[in-house]
Structure 1
């Protein structure tokens, strides 16, 4: 009888294996277990769907943004508005989405969420403006390649803000992507493509793209930190709510800039002079806005499901697609420097993917080892 009691006490005292950071960024073992068990086929299918939406949304939005400029559009603030102006669509989806059980629990106070919405929204508004100028001053293929440096910036912000582990492979990704962008920066600005681009603005476009990439990387890490430390739940309704509020603030910044700059006066003339008429003008802006919103929601879902770095890596996958479509649609020339830079950027992306694969294997082996140790401890007591 005493042996049986000893066995029972020993089994109860055996520590449970830990499965990572938990649902709320460092929560209970029960939350860790639920998250680990939830990563089945359905979880991966949802992640893959979000990745495809990010991939398609970012590619289409970038190409439509270049089409807006190529077809006669010239308002940088209007191009900025399209990057966040589709937020009313999010409000419709939010109203139609039924609340989940987690939505009825304790809610973060408005005193914390409002400053977050304002801060991230203002950052997002000015980041969108920098991207609008950069897309005007650079060929779309060069813009896409330089914008890929946001993965390198995000590796740094994820380490500093989200405590992301910084390995040799991730460091390799940062160095390769940075060197890839530098190749484009020191290359000739006259590559014979997109002849309607403003003359003498290549360097400014390059600097603006790098700056916007760094700010966007910071925004992604702040989103992840918000869900980890403040929201503490990762339901679809909360993803939509955070996306809606931050984009409304960004849209307000853009609309204020449109009126303060006086560009609103040029919109009727720009619409009338747009290639193929007003209908195409409206369709281009609406298509751009919808594409950016789809990409942003899917990216935020990836942040809550995995990490901001994973979401950024997914956006980098569109890197080879944009230059290819730019060659087909806009006549951009795929120069040798661009080809080498694209291959190096893909190499940097694959370095991170391989690191993610190694982390997954290490976590799985850790779970198996902890489980075996627990079983072995129980068997030793039983034999005794």
Structure 2
């Protein structure tokens, strides 16, 4: 199982610092040879900031999207566009970050050719645009509390993609997390009803079924994207400085925005935007503010995710995202009157249990790696 201090040297370390990890032990391919330096107080503070960005963004973005649909918004492509349109906000910190801001940058391998990096960013941007469209449909057809709980299955998909793409170990606890989260989503699918309080497009069993399919598909694509981000930092860019994180985040979201904007124009939905804003339940200003809030919230979540991937791993970022599972349904009940049924409570508890299973595995990995490092130092 991948964890923060194992992956850190792999992403940031130089080839000459790996000899002390015991290269003949293939069970632990990324020993924490420089772990104490990387996992000091400053590292944990930065990780905490990234986690807060991710959690706040993922908690508010679905709620604001639901507010958009409930208050009269109906443009699917506008909702999709808003999910990636916040990337210009990152130009300010990018411009303020010098190319050689981090001293460690001099120790990192040179990134791949610009053309290769650009091609990867375009590919990831297209995947993100596709994922955003599926999430838009999902949030239209499902109550936000149900959407949040079903979307938590992305951790299960992430365990699989991390194994296949990033060669991370699947332990019994991780498999337990996968199974529990999968059953949690299945329980919600069987217990969903028209009275759950979705948006304007949520009525009808076919639309509910489409909402579940879209949410599960988007969760799978999201897990794939996170693993590809990890592989990009590790194998293509071979660097994880703040400047590279911002560059990749801006590039991929700019591509996703261009795709959504082109689709908005091609579909003709842009003609209905002025009327939609005028008829918005809370006024045109609230219409603009709601979409702007969606853009900022998703951008915060996306940046927090990419930074966690660069500092730790895609699975670590996905596990952090599951912390929103008990938060969003409660907020949805308070804001939109979603019913907190017994089935949702059980599904929420199952999702939390799946999260705790992974956290415990992370704890065991930390202890085992620390013992292994201690033995290596004693032998030296």
TM-score (norm 1): 0.89
Could you tell me which runs of 5 or more consecutive residues in structure 1 were left unpaired when the two chains were aligned.
1-18, 375-384
> 2:149–2:325: 8 Å Cα contact kept in structure 1?
yes
Is 1:290 matched with 2:277?
A: no
Instruction: Show the counterpart of 1:30.
Output: 17
Is 1:304 matched with 2:291?
A: no
Instruction: Show the counterpart of 2:94.
Output: 94
Is 1:368 matched with 2:341?
A: no
Matching residue within 265, 275, 278 for 1:272: 278
Once structures 1 and 2 are overlaid, which stretch shifts more, 24-33 or 167-176?
Answer: 24-33
- Change in 2 beyond 3 A, CA 1:139/1:20: closer
SS of equivalent residue, structure 1 residue 73: coil
1:27: how far off? 5.0
1:24: how far off? 2.8
> 1:139–1:197: 8 Å Cα contact kept in structure 2?
no
In structure 1, C-alpha distance between the alignment counterparts of 2:346 and 2:261, rounded to whole Å: 39
Structural RMSD (CA): 1.6
Once structures 1 and 2 are overlaid, which stretch shifts more, 94-103 or 201-210?
Answer: 94-103
Deviations 1:20-62, CA, capped at 9 Å, x for gaps: 4524378525276445422111111111111111111110111
In structure 2, C-alpha distance between the alignment counterparts of 1:143 and 1:364, rounded to whole Å: 39
TM-score (norm 2): 0.90
In structure 2, C-alpha distance between the alignment counterparts of 1:188 and 1:102, rounded to whole Å: 51
Instruction: Show the counterpart of 1:158.
Output: 162
Could you tell me which runs of 5 or more consecutive residues in structure 2 were left unpaired when the two chains were aligned.
19-31
Instruction: Show the counterpart of 2:252.
Output: 246
In structure 1, C-alpha distance between the alignment counterparts of 2:71 and 2:332, rounded to whole Å: 14
Instruction: Show the counterpart of 1:223.
Output: 229
Aligned residues: 356
In structure 2, C-alpha distance between the alignment counterparts of 1:265 and 1:169, rounded to whole Å: 51
Instruction: Show the counterpart of 1:130.
Output: 134
In structure 2, C-alpha distance between the alignment counterparts of 1:310 and 1:42, rounded to whole Å: 18
In structure 2, C-alpha distance between the alignment counterparts of 1:24 and 1:195, rounded to whole Å: 43
In structure 1, C-alpha distance between the alignment counterparts of 2:12 and 2:358, rounded to whole Å: 21
Instruction: Show the counterpart of 1:9.
Output: none
> 2:69–2:199: 8 Å Cα contact kept in structure 1?
no
SS of equivalent residue, structure 1 residue 64: helix
> 1:94–1:237: 8 Å Cα contact kept in structure 2?
yes
Once structures 1 and 2 are overlaid, which stretch shifts more, 24-33 or 67-76?
Answer: 24-33
Is 1:235 matched with 2:222?
A: no
